A = this chain, B = another copy of it.
Amino acid sequence: MPEFDLQNFLPFRLSRLSYEVSNRMAEIYSDQFDIGIPEWRILATLAAKKQCTAKAIVASTRTHKSTISRGVARLTENGWIEQISSRQDKRQHLLQLTDTGKSKFGEIKPLVEKFEKDLRAKLSSEAIGQLTAGIGALEKILELGSAESLKEK
């Protein structure tokens, strides 16, 4: 008769947590603006990097390449982002926010930042430190390190 303590099992706790956080946050922008999680990630990445290719977004967000491809297509249709054909390599397109995109992202950003701020506000500063350090350590061993160390999935 196999026992199992699911409630204390790390992978499970992580996934439940992330599901909850992502969904609560997605409520904020998916209603008011018509975008989903992949689009949000693309926008945020482009806001951070100013310009980059789809591949770079795939690597840094660890989202499936077809999901990013479709997100890019949708955002391009909506006029939030645009492609600058880099003449170096005609396979890849450099992406960047359009003025509309910047403006829209400018609206979403404070909402999302407020969400995270509210979350942090409910935690003790000790807990925040622990969480950040713990996540950082886990990222490191999973080679999810900050940005560039990421390999294609």
Contacts and interface: CB of A to CB of B under 8 A. Distances in A.
Nearest to A147: B7
Given A2-B102, A2-B106, A144-B17, A137 B116 contact: no
Contacts of A44: 4, 6, 9, 12
Q: How many copies does the complex hold?
A: 2
A6 B48 contact: yes
Contact of A17 (B5, B129, B139): B139
A149 to B, nearest CB: 12
Contacts of A114: none
A17 B123 contact: no
Interface in A119-143: 119-120, 122-124, 127-135, 137-139, 141-142
Interface of A: 1-7, 9-22, 24-25, 41, 44-45, 47-48, 50, 60-62, 97, 102, 105-106, 109, 115-116, 119-120, 122-124, 127-135, 137-139, 141-142, 144, 146-147
13 contacts: A10-B21, A11-B21, A11-B22, A11-B116, A12-B44, A12-B61, A14-B22, A14-B135, A15-B22, A123-B138, A123-B141, A127-B133, A130-B131
